Amino acid sequence: MARVHLYVAAACAVVLALAAPSLAGDPDMLQDICVADKTIPIKINGFPCKANVTADDFFFDGLRNPGNTNNPNGAMVTAANVDTFAVVNTLGVSLARIDYAPGGLNPPHTHPRATEIIFVLEGVLEVGFITTADVLFSKIITKGDVFVSPRGLVHFQQNRGHGPATVIAGFNSQLQGTQQVAMTLFGATPPVSSDILAKGFRIDNRLVDAIKARF
């Protein structure tokens, strides 16, 4: 009987090990292609498939031009995910172009559904992520370098050069989701109670309200 239990436990371990990779990204698709049909309002963990598909559905030129970095962060993310590039529906991949003015910051944020890998096209960036043990892994990277931020962990990029910087970011999700830490906490709708944020950040309510007003 003990041996049977051992075999059952071993079989369960194998099943879990084989299943683990599938949990790291979007579910596997059940057809060759499923170009998202945005005209249908029903969504079941994704978008319904478009009926008539052409070669143009597989083409996207939205990353050709720099994004407008004239904003408070001095950075702009241009996405090629299912919201803008319908063909990646069910494919478990997406891209983004991120442009940074000198000093520009892609502020601390997380992607709950994807690991992010960036490739530097130009510029000098300080990049990093923070583990759940509050350990920072940070690096200065330049043209041709690659850096990975694991799924769900807070990470950031800032332009440390004197000129513009640009990266291409890849994700193992058709729609990685993005939560900017500051915006999520101080710009939520309805707002998070000021006393909760004051206690959490160990600051007073007036400072919390002043920060909220900026979002």
* Residue 106 labelled as part of a binding site: yes
Find the angle CA(136)-CA(187)-CA(115) to the nearest 5 degrees.
40
CATH number for 168:
2.60.120.10
* Residue 109 labelled as part of a binding site: yes
Q: Higher pLDDT residue, 15 or 67?
A: 67
Find the angle CA(130)-CA(119)-CA(110) to the nearest 5 degrees.
30
Sort 23 into a burial class: Cβ within 10 Å, 0-12 / 13-18 / 19+.
exposed
Mean pLDDT of the region 6-27: 48
> Using CA atoms, how far apart are residues 77 and 150, in angstroms rounded to an integer?
19
Is 203 part of a structural domain of the chain? no
pLDDT of residue 206: 94
Q: Which two tokens stand for residue 208?
A: 């919390």
Residue 117 scores a pLDDT above 80: yes
pLDDT of residue 8: 46
Contact assessment for residue 154 and residue 129, using Cβ atoms and an 8 Å cutoff: yes
Is 190 part of a structural domain of the chain? no
Its pTM stands at 0.84
pLDDT of residue 40: 86
pLDDT of residue 151: 97
Mean pLDDT of the region 1-19: 44
pLDDT in tens, 144-194: 999 999 999 999 999 999 999 999 999 999 999 999 999 999 999 999 999
| DSSP H helices in the chain | 2-19, 181-186, 194-201, 205-213
pLDDT in tens, 57-98: 999 999 999 999 999 999 999 999 999 999 999 999 999 999
> Using CA atoms, how far apart are residues 103 and 158, in angstroms rounded to an integer?
6
Is 102 part of a structural domain of the chain? yes
pLDDT of residue 32: 87
Q: Which two tokens stand for residue 46?
A: 């994704």
**C-beta atoms surrounding 195 within 10 Å:** 11
Contact assessment for residue 149 and residue 64, using Cβ atoms and an 8 Å cutoff: no
**How many domains are there within the chain?**
1
Residue 15 scores a pLDDT above 80: no
List all residues 6 or more positions away from 148 whose beta carbon is below 8 Å from its beta carbon. 115, 116, 117, 118
Is 69 part of a structural domain of the chain? yes
> Using CA atoms, how far apart are residues 50 and 48, in angstroms rounded to an integer?
7
pLDDT of residue 85: 97
pLDDT of residue 17: 40
Mean pLDDT of the region 190-203: 96
* Residue 5 labelled as part of a binding site: no
Is 109 part of a structural domain of the chain? yes
User: In one letter, which amino acid is 190?
Assistant: P
Is 125 part of a structural domain of the chain? yes
Is 124 part of a structural domain of the chain? yes
pLDDT of residue 22: 45
pLDDT of residue 4: 46
Is 101 part of a structural domain of the chain? yes
The b/e string for 122-151 (b: 16+ C-beta within 10 A; e otherwise) is bbbbebbbbeeeeeeeeeebeeeeebebeb
Rounded to a whole number of angstroms, the distance between the first and last alpha carbons of the chain is 63
pLDDT in tens, 23-41: 457 877 778 889 999 888 8
Residue 6 scores a pLDDT above 60: no
Confidence band, pLDDT 50/70/90 cuts, at residue 1: low
Host domain of residue 100: 55-177
